[in-house]
Amino acid sequence: MSIVLSAVQYLGYVLIFPGFLFCFLAGLLLCGIDRKMVAKMQKRVGPPVLQPFYDFFKLCGKETIVPAAASSKTVFLMAPLVGLAALVVLQLFIPIFQFTAFSGMADIIVILYLLLIPALATILGGAASGSPYAGVGLSREMVTIISCELPLVLILLAVGKVVGSASGTGLTFSFSAIMAYQAEHGSLILKASMIPAAVAMLMVIPGETGNHPFDAAEAETEICEGLLAEYSGPPLGVYKLSHAIKMLTLTSLFVALFLGGIGSGIEKLVLLCGLSGAAAGAVTVILGAIVLFLLCVVLTVVCISFAHAVTARLKIEQIFKFYWTAVSGLALISLVLAWYGL
């Protein structure tokens, strides 16, 4: 009986709460808020906040065309789904303050690998489409991945070092240790040595999601949307959905790494209200999810919408140079400071 119950519970995790349904709603809403904010910053009225939902459902109703030049129909059509699945799994592993759907099963290294899969899926799908535009987009996407990966690894190392040296293990990659540290000592962003890493992480987010000004791989005005040039209908919709979820995933990763201390505040608030037991747990999780989403909105506006509104698209070598000098430099400063125990 308990096996059935826990199976239902895990199915609920995967399909509903930190899993698919939550990602779908929160991701697309986040994308809509981003588009609205960009419009406001450009003194436009902008699309309705629900516009990404309309876009997604419209694409579901369109014809799917598989180009005659496609080398593999299966890869072409399955690649978007693989990318989406990887992102939903990723969201399951990122803690919502103290709550994790699958606790103790994954650490930061798994997050790094899972973050690569959606990008690799777009590359595979684009390569299978046989379009020369996708070929150009593919090489640019690879460079973008390599650019973002180094600063991201450095940031995670810096965080791991701070948390690890506090607990005496040296270097930790465990999410539960990071959350426990922040619940005890307050959010990591409050530490002086972590501020450069947090700033670097803010710069990594638009690069990882492929937003302006780092969208050379999907430049619609010069290479016809690059990797997505041949996609139409539902597969394109799934790519758009993945892009929206990626914004949610990366901003919630930022919250988990640097703002995790807010979780203990929520717990205290729930205790103050006089709740206890299972009810307190449920309320904490729901409040946590709401606070997480609001923080994600703020982060999206700061690092995605604002960057979109004020910058023009960078060339691919400029993206590479920016990430491997400025952003990696910031992350490295944090790592060195963390190593000296600051």
Partner 1 sequence: MFKKLIAESTAKSPWLFHINAGSCNGCDIELVSVLTPRYDAERLGFKLAGSPRHADIVVVTGPVTTQSLPRVLRAISQVPEPRCIVTMGSCPQSGNVFRGSYSVAGPLSKYVHVDVDVAGCAPKPEAVIDGLALATKILKEKREAK
> Which one of 55-63, 187-195, 243-251, 308-316 is the stretch in contact with partner 1 (CB under 8 A)?
55-63
Minimum distance, C-beta of residue 250 to partner 1, in the bound complex (Å): 23
Minimum distance, C-beta of residue 107 to partner 1, in the bound complex (Å): 38
Minimum distance, C-beta of residue 29 to partner 1, in the bound complex (Å): 15
Contacts of 67 (CB under 8 A, 6+ apart): 129, 130, 131, 230
At 100, is the secondary structure helix, strand, or coil? coil
Q: Which amino acid is at 272?
A: L
* 35 vs 161 by CB, closer to partner 1: 35
* 61 vs 104 by CB, closer to partner 1: 61
Token digits of residue 78: 């399955």
Helix, strand, coil fractions of the chain, as percent rounded to 5: 75, 0, 25
* Cα 309 from Cα 212, distance rounded (Å): 8
Report the residue from 34, 55, 141, 215 that binds partner 1 according to the rule CB under 8 A.
Answer: 55
Q: Which of residues 226-285 bind partner 1 (CB under 8 A)?
A: 228-233, 236
> Which one of 58-66, 156-164, 171-179, 207-215 is the stretch in contact with partner 1 (CB under 8 A)?
58-66
* 36 vs 191 by CB, closer to partner 1: 36
> Which one of 38-46, 115-123, 180-188, 191-199 is the stretch in contact with partner 1 (CB under 8 A)?
38-46
* 159 vs 223 by CB, closer to partner 1: 223
* Cα 121 from Cα 241, distance rounded (Å): 14
321 touching partner 1, by CB under 8 A:
no
Token digits of residue 311: 């910058």
* Cα 248 from Cα 207, distance rounded (Å): 14
Q: Which of residues 125-184 bind partner 1 (CB under 8 A)?
A: 133
Q: What binding mask, one character per residue, do residues 204-233 give for partner 1 by CB under 8 A, x or -?
A: ---------------xxx-xxx--xxxxxx
Report the residue from 14, 21, 39, 117 that binds partner 1 according to the rule CB under 8 A.
Answer: 39
Minimum distance, C-beta of residue 222 to partner 1, in the bound complex (Å): 8
* 47 vs 186 by CB, closer to partner 1: 47
Token digits of residue 3: 């096996």
DSSP 8-state assignment for residue 17: S
Minimum distance, C-beta of residue 98 to partner 1, in the bound complex (Å): 37
54 touching partner 1, by CB under 8 A:
yes
Q: Which of residues 6-35 bind partner 1 (CB under 8 A)?
A: 35
Choose among 86, 126, 117, 143: nearest CA to 236.
126
Cβ count within 10 A of residue 140: 22
* 58 vs 268 by CB, closer to partner 1: 58
At 291, is the secondary structure helix, strand, or coil? helix
At 43, is the secondary structure helix, strand, or coil? coil
Report the residue from 7, 15, 65, 282 that binds partner 1 according to the rule CB under 8 A.
Answer: 65
* 57 vs 102 by CB, closer to partner 1: 57
Choose among 80, 88, 94: nearest CA to 15.
88
Interface with partner 1 (CB under 8 A), residue total: 36
Positions that interact with partner 1 (CB under 8 A): 35, 39, 42-48, 51, 53-58, 60-65, 133, 219-221, 223-225, 228-233, 236
